[in-house]
Amino acid sequence: MNIEQVRFNMIEQQIRTWDVLNIDILDLLFKVKREGYVPAMYRSLAFMDMEIPLGHGVAMLAPKLEARILQELDVKKTDKVLEVGSGSGYLTALLAELSAHVCSVEIVPELKAMAERNLAGHGITNVSLELGDASRGSSKHAPYDVIVLTGSTPVLPDAFQNSLNIGGRLFAVVGDAPAMEARLITRGADSFTITTLFETCIPPLKNALQPERFVF
């Protein structure tokens, strides 16, 4: 298999066709080798248009979704980023390449260890990985310029948007399967702008906030 040809095909056929046209992001997808963050047993699937299982009910997001998240967030080299859910560390690495620093919080010890190995193996140093539950927000290092939730949440806690700097951006997938929507929330001086981007469906964050359910 010509791996660079397969990577090129992924970018041209999956990512560009999903309206990801930012040249810096497309170049980044060539630079940060996705296959290096995929579990060995699934490495042949690294460039497929699909989620890749990581165990513990968690999956790597599809490549086009990862790329679209980066484009929507418009991450800058001065940005401080919070990532909720480190997974294998691939999106963490992409965010790290674009930003000043990434704080990534992972609830599953085995996944935190996987992300640490992968990031260290690829020389990514501007990341702090923390073990914990940030499914309802994390103010430990707040405020942030960018916040990314890598799993869905039926209800988006206010704590996330309240942890943004002025001008900060939050990406979250909100709702219950099968009807979820990706949202971009931007903090202004005295208000928040909420933009619905597209419909999708991804696994939920562990311990995500649930809506109040009416019981007869």
pLDDT of residue 215: 57
Domain boundaries, the chain: 3-200
Residues in the chain: 216
pLDDT of residue 139: 79
Overall pTM surpassing 0.85 (yes/no): yes
Where would I find the H helices in 14-170?
23-31, 63-73, 90-98, 109-121, 158-162
Instruction: For residue range 87-118, list pLDDT tens digits in order.
Output: 999 999 999 999 999 999 999 999 999 999 99
Distance CA 51, CA 62 (A): 5
What residue ranges in the chain does DSSP mark as E strands? 52-55, 58-60, 80-84, 101-106, 127-131, 144-149, 164-176, 179-187, 192-200
Instruction: For residue range 186-197, list pLDDT tens digits in order.
Output: 999 999 999 999
Asked if residue 157 has a cis previous peptide bond (ω within 30° of 0), the answer is: no
Question: Quick one: how far is CA 158 from the chain centroid?
Answer: 19
- Superfamily for the 3-200 domain: Vaccinia Virus protein VP39 (3.40.50.150)
Distance CA 135, CA 208 (A): 5
Distance CA 192, CA 190 (A): 7
Q: How much of the chain, in percent, has pLDDT values that exceed 70? A: 98
- The C-alpha torsion from 200 through 53 and 124 to 206, rounded to 10°, is 70
Q: Do 102 and 127 contact (CB within 8 A), yes or no?
A: yes
Closest to 148 in 3D by CA, of 211, 212, 202, 190: 202
Other Cβ atoms less than 10 A from the Cβ of 178: the count is: 8
Distance CA 56, CA 53 (A): 9
Closest to 95 in 3D by CA, of 110, 77, 117, 111: 77
pLDDT band at 209; cut points 50, 70, 90: confident
Instruction: For residue range 135-174, list pLDDT tens digits in order.
Output: 999 878 899 999 999 999 999 999 999 999 999 999 999 9
Distance CA 199, CA 95 (A): 23
pLDDT of residue 89: 98
